Amino acid sequence: AQSVTQPDIHITVSEGASLELRCNYSYGATPYLFWYVQSPGQGLQLLLKYFSGDTLVQGIKGFEAEFKRSQSSFNLRKPSVHWSDAAEYFCAVRSNDYKLSFGAGTTVTVRA
């Protein structure tokens, strides 16, 4: 069965600093990977996705992620965070039957 691990429960970063959120997955076949963001009390917004091809994918809001098959990782990065990036971030892997399995999430706090 597929699973996702997000090792960091909480990350604090200064505004303007870079951000990297880790995601490791377990899946037997070629994974379809996603990053979603959730603001407090809100639903999930898709940031980016990886299906195939270029292993560095660009998303919305200046985020990017890199798929590394050898490390079973799909880490999310942003070069310079804004206060509005404070939220919870979820990595997910899609199974063959279109079902998503999510990690437990990483909460990002941005300090001025």
How many CB atoms are located within 10 Å of the residue 81 CB?
Answer: 21
The smaller minimum CB distance to another protein, of residues 1 and 112, is found at 1
Binding footprint of another protein on the chain (CB under 8 A): 4, 32, 34, 36, 41-46, 49, 51, 90, 92, 94, 97-105
Contact 99, 81 (CB under 8 A): no
Q: Closer CB to another protein, residue 15 or residue 102?
A: 102
Count Cα atoms within 13 angstroms, Cβ side, for 66. 8
CB of 16 to another protein, least distance (A): 28
